A and B are shown apart, each in its own frame.
Chain A
Amino acid sequence: MERLDDEGQWIVMMGFIVAVSIFFLALVINQATLVGQTTAEGVLEFPKSEIRDLRSEVFTLIDTGDVYDSAINASLHQDILVLEETRKNTIVNYSVNKINMSGTGIKYNLTKLHFNNGVTEYDATVHY
């Protein structure tokens, strides 16, 4: 065959084009299965309920008198820290300061919250 012609190369080209398009489709399908998975995992991963639980527990302790003269009850403080660390693998901390505003005489508790579970870190300052 001296003459290298190209009549048959249409076929190989079509074959390649079909193969590439099937490959592309497979890629699309592979990504599609991840959609639902990451939605639910995103919800599971963010510790919304844990942060809310910590906030509500600290505020309940403030309401029931855990805080006196700007000092918090040390053993309740340790309870929360140690329980969260050993059972939930979360580092938490809170501090409360009673503030009296001199002008209006309004009293409030300046509360600082810290939450870190390794994936999400949350810090908040609340005037409760």
Chain B
Amino acid sequence: MARINDDALMSIDFLAGFTIFLLSLIVAAGMVPGMLAGLQSATIDYDGVAYRTSVILAEDPGWFEDVNGGVGSRWEIKRDDEIQRMGLAVSKETPNIFSIAKVARFFNQTYRENPAFYRSRVFFSDIPYSFNITLKGDDFEYHLGDGTPEGEYGSIRRAVLVKNASEATLDFSNAAVLGAYADPATAPGATSTFNVSLNFTELLAPSPAYQVDPFSERITIRIENLNKTFYNGAQANLTNLKLYWRSNPGEPSFEIETDSLHLYVDGVQNSTLLTNITHNLTLIFDPGFFTRGAPDNKNVLTIRDLEFTFANSPGTNTTIKNTFNYTPTDDKVTMPPLKPAVLEVAVW
């Protein structure tokens, strides 16, 4: 028979072939999600990011660049926008030894309000990772970030040492201290001055893990039992506190700004300098205080003197005198030992 025109007709064979093809296509398409499932292994990436972050925190001292062109790794005393990278190590030569000033500054940020601050200075990634960084020692614990999730996350643990700040205690109930820095048997003049001298060259001489760093560590000076120095008096009147640059006599003195100084008089926090003291005086200078007035070149090593001026009058006086050298070899200055701690970084 003559062939029918089959332009618009689908024959059974065509149907059969097309059906077989379509079925196999459906089977193949159904297997593709199973093959792609392996790409969900995000923990491989998270562990790598956690390791890199832990290296930046534990082994790197950090970096800042300020508006005057100064650069360096003492970023803990700089403004937020001047910090380029936050690392907690004391210096490049001392990995795994943390500076407590850097730790306090790093963990003190209000994370919730500004997580981007950390992302650009610690993670260096466009992907917005959530993180939890914890540092735990025997007597301190710091947290930063969200709580760890129930699911998978990448984490790493590092063992570190934490270097705390030094402090000086002058206890006038100790006869040696009283003999060296006061003279309660003699009537004092109109004013008594007491100096605390910081010789930067001497303080920065030991290796970075064991030195007192006046540029970036907190300095604490405690004067206890000041009543032993009174000459027939009941209290002392501190009238002035100045910072001098003794190695350069022409330089003027600098007035102390009380916003970077914490003053405790007789155990109570005081906000003004000019005050009466009956027993104890504790001054805590924030990191970076003693560089005030120095040029930004941190290699300038000087002797800075802190001068206390007391006004004397009958009933309110003190016979304190002389200069106390703030140096770790003096037994009145305690350098706390390095304490072990654990740092854990979790990323998800």
A residues contacting B by CB (< 8 A) are 7-8, 11, 14-15, 18, 22, 25-26, 29, 32-33, 35-37, 39-40, 43, 52
5 A-B contact pairs sorted by A residue (CB < 8 Å): A14-B21, A29-B39, A36-B41, A36-B45, A39-B44
Provide the bound-state CA to CA distance between A22 and B44, in Å.
Answer: 25
Query: By DSSP majority rule, is chain B's interface helix, strand, loop, or mixed?
Result: helix
Smallest Cβ-Cβ distance to A63: which chain B residue: B207
Identify B28's interface contact among A18, A32, A37, CB under 8 A: A18
Interface size on B, residues (CB 8 A): 20
Distance from B57 Cβ to chain A, minimum over Cβ atoms (Å): 16
Q: How many residue pairs at the A-B interface have CB separations less than 8 Å? A: 44
Provide the bound-state CA to CA distance between A26 and B18, in Å.
Answer: 26
Q: Does B47 contact A (CB under 8 A)?
A: yes
Asked, given contacts A32-B38, A32-B39, A35-B44, whether A8 binds B51 with beta carbons under 8 Å apart, the answer is no
Asked, given contacts A15-B21, A22-B28, whether A40 binds B47 with beta carbons under 8 Å apart, the answer is yes
Q: A18-B25, A18-B28, A37-B44 are in contact. List 8 more A-B contacts (CB 8 A).
A: A14-B25, A15-B21, A22-B32, A25-B35, A32-B39, A33-B41, A35-B45, A43-B51
B47 adjacent to A36 (CB under 8 Å): yes
Q: Fill in one digit per residue for B27-67: 1 if any A CB lies within 8 Å of its CB, else 0.
A: 01000100110110101110110010000000000000000
B51 adjacent to A26 (CB under 8 Å): no
Which chain B positions have C-beta within 8 A of A25?
32, 35-36
Distance from A71 Cβ to chain B, minimum over Cβ atoms (Å): 25
A36 adjacent to B28 (CB under 8 Å): no
Provide the bound-state CA to CA distance between A123 and B128, in Å.
Answer: 39
Distance from B327 Cβ to chain A, minimum over Cβ atoms (Å): 21
Query: By DSSP majority rule, is chain A's interface helix, strand, loop, or mixed?
Result: helix
Asked, given contacts A18-B28, A36-B47, A39-B48, whether A11 binds B38 with beta carbons under 8 Å apart, the answer is no
Q: Does B95 contact A (CB under 8 A)?
A: yes
Asked, given contacts A29-B36, A52-B95, whether A11 binds B21 with beta carbons under 8 Å apart, the answer is yes
Smallest Cβ-Cβ distance to B13: which chain A residue: A8
Smallest Cβ-Cβ distance to B42: which chain A residue: A36
Provide the bound-state CA to CA distance between A115 and B39, in Å.
Answer: 39
B48 adjacent to A40 (CB under 8 Å): yes
A11 adjacent to B18 (CB under 8 Å): yes
B14 adjacent to A8 (CB under 8 Å): yes
Q: Fill in one digit per residue for B99-131: 1 if any A CB lies within 8 Å of its CB, else 0.
A: 000000000000000000000000000000000
Distance from A30 Cβ to chain B, minimum over Cβ atoms (Å): 9
Q: Does B69 contact A (CB under 8 A)?
A: no
Which chain A positions have C-beta within 8 A of B24?
15
